[in-house]
Each structure stands twice: as structure tokens, then as C-alpha cells.
């Protein structure tokens, strides 16, 4: 932690998909910047590893193992966090799944449902559950991870692209609804990053040529800072 700018000192941040990839990198960086990080992911082992890394750096974290498709528990999260912390300063809705690359007519309904549930509906549930806590912060910030696939309408990327297009629209609507409040709501498009999701979509790609998750976290930090004035924007890493 020595020498860190500590731009998030004393702030409370919740990060989904925090067990690996971009979510893990964001959680580590937030902790290095002084935030207490609530780590949300399905994999308990992965969360424990991230917790060990954060504590080794002198930071602090709270583990919240959760499948984002368990909507009842998502709905209860706001009350649980209120009882323990009384507020939330930063929400990072980062978790996402690709599903499968397939013609639209060949996508299984269960797979379509999973992609929409994780990439879109879970983020709406998070907004619904955590918005009151974000408004209790003097400088609440909500940040969501998006992808160019949602804007480019790529063939065979149907479920994933549709979920990201809908996410962007939903987040911009949310940003408009809070425009007259201290709460700021934005998106980050990290671009091509060496993550497991990227490998699923581009299995033949040379991962050595891609940026690592740690290379794309700066926009998340900037948007999470209390002095950030951006709202309703997409930042590209």
C-alpha cells in the first residue's frame, strides 16, 4: 500500500465477478487505493484467494459468495449491507457470461436465459436492491462492465450481444434518473483483455498479444472516485 494515491480511501465498494479476471483486478486495485471491498462471486475458493491477496497488501475485504442468478438473495443484499455498513459508496457490476456462439435459432432457451439473467437481469436486481444504499453515500458511484459486441451486432453473438446492448440502455436510463442527485452511473468497455470469457469467444487468439486485466482498471478507479463528475458515459480502457 505504501506510495498508493489512496483515491478511494475509506470508501466501501462492492464488485461482482471478483474471483478472477477483470473483477479480481478491480478489487485488488480498489483495495490498494484504500477501499474496503465486498467481493461477490460464485466460487468460494477464488474469493478466498483474492482476500488473501488483498490482505497481503494491507487492504481489507468482505467475502460474499453468491450466484447472481439467485435473485432472492440479490434482493436481500441491500438490507444485509445496510445492517452491517449503513451505506454503499461504489457498485461495480462486472460479472458476465458469454453463453455460446451460435445462430440465434440454435440457441437453447436455457442458455439464452442464463446469459440474460447474469449479464442483464442481475444488474437490474443489484440496482433495485442497492440504489437506496448508494444514495446514502455522499458520492455514490455505480459502474457496469460492457462490451463493443452490444453495439456492433456481431453475427452468432446473439445472446451476449443482446444482453450487453440492453445493459447499456438500462444503465443510461438509470444515469438519467439520478442526474439531479450526487449518484453517478457509468459504464466501462475494457476492450480486448486476456480473460476466460475472451478465450471462449476467440479460442485461436494469441493471448500474449492481449492486455491483462490489471491493464484496464484505471477507468474503474476514476469513475469510483468521490470527485468524479461523469454520468451516463461509456469509458474505454
Digit-coded pLDDT (tens) for 197-213: 999 999 999 999 999 99
Q: What are phi and psi of 77, to 5 degrees?
A: -65, -40
Q: Are 176 and 218 in contact (CB under 8 A)?
A: no
Beta bridge partners of 234: 187
pTM above 0.85, yes or no: yes
pLDDT of residue 57: 87
160 is catalytic: yes
Of the candidates 82, 156, 160, 174, the residue annotated as catalytic is: 160
- In the chain, which residues have pLDDT < 70? 1-5
CATH placement of domain 12-236: 3.40.50.720
The domain ranges of the chain are: 12-236
Average per-residue pLDDT for the chain: 95
pLDDT of residue 123: 98
Beta bridge partners of 141: 90, 184
Cα–Cα distances in angstroms (integers) from residue 166 to residues 115, 129, 216, in the given order: 12, 19, 23
Residue carrying C-alpha cell 474469493: 47
pLDDT of residue 5: 63
What is the DSSP track for 87-131? --SEEEE--------B-GGGS-HHHHHHHHIIIIIHHHHHHHHHH
Amino acid at each position: 500500500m505504501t506510495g498508493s494515491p489512496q483515491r478511494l480511501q475509506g470508501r466501501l465498494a462492492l464488485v461482482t465477478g471478483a474471483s478472477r479476471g477483470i473483477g479480481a483486478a478491480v478489487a485488488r486495485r480498489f483495495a490498494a487505493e484504500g477501499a474496503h471491498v465486498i467481493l461477490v462471486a460464485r466460487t468460494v475458493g477464488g474469493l478466498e484467494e483474492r482476500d488473501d491477496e488483498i490482505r497481503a497488501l494491507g487492504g481489507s475485504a468482505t467475502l460474499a459468495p453468491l450466484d447472481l442468478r439467485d435473485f432472492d438473495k440479490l434482493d436481500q443484499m441491500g438490507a444485509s449491507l445496510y445492517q452491517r455498513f449503513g451505506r454503499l459508496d461504489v457498485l461495480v457490476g462486472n460479472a458476465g457470461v458469454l453463453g455460446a456462439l451460435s445462430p440465434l435459432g440454435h440457441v437453447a432457451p436455457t442458455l439464452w436465459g442464463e446469459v440474460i439473467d447474469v449479464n442483464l437481469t442481475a444488474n437490474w436486481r443489484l440496482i433495485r436492491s442497492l440504489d437506496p444504499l448508494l444514495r446514502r453515500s455522499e458520492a455514490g458511484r455505480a459502474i457496469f462492465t460492457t462490451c463493443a459486441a452490444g453495439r456492433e451486432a456481431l453475427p452468432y453473438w446473439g445472446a451476449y450481444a443482446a444482453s450487453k446492448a440492453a445493459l447499456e440502455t438500462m444503465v443510461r436510463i438509470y444515469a438519467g434518473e439520478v442526474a439531479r442527485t450526487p449518484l453517478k452511473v457509468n459504464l466501462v468497455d475494457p476492450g480486448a483483455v486476456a480473460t476466460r470469457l475472451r478465450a471462449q469467444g476467440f479460442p485461436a487468439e494469441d493471448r500474449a498479444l492481449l492486455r491483462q486485466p490489471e491493464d484496464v482498471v484505471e477507468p474503474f478507479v476514476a469513475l469510483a472516485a468521490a470527485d468524479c463528475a461523469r454520468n451516463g458515459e461509456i469509458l474505454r480502457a
